[in-house]
Amino acid sequence: MPTAVLRNTGVGLEEVRGIRDARDRRPGGLASSVSMDVVGELSMTGTPQDCLEKLQSLADTGLEVPILYLNGPFIEKALDLAGTDILPQTTRAP
């Protein structure tokens, strides 16, 4: 993730370095090294409108390519909502 994006989200470089170090030491145990603050800053949950607002917030920090990773019991529904209610509302600058 670009340094400017991290700086603008409030995620510290030292925390990112710690996550990278944990990944290098024990790839399978990476999740335990990521704080809930980082998860909250860099992920989205909620209604399609909540997600659109979070995407805009992340775009305002300089994020150009978000990665969609769906998790939970309603993945198919989430994917449908992403395709019908979220992605069509986004625009890409020329």
Total count of residues recorded for the chain? 94
Extents of the domains making up the chain:
1-42, 43-94
Quote the distance between the C-alpha of residue 83 and its chain's center: 17
How far is 2 from 9, CA to CA, in rounded Å?
11
Query: Which of 71, 72, 68 has the alpha carbon at shortest distance from 87?
Result: 68
User: 0.85 exceeded by the pTM?
Assistant: no
How far is 52 from 46, CA to CA, in rounded Å?
10
Other residues' Cβ atoms within 10 Å of the Cβ of residue 22: 16
| Tens-binned pLDDT, residue by residue, of the chain (94 aa) | 566 666 767 777 777 787 778 777 776 667 777 778 888 887 888 899 999 998 888 888 888 888 888 888 888 998 998 889 988 888 765 4
The secondary structure of residue 13, as a DSSP letter, is H
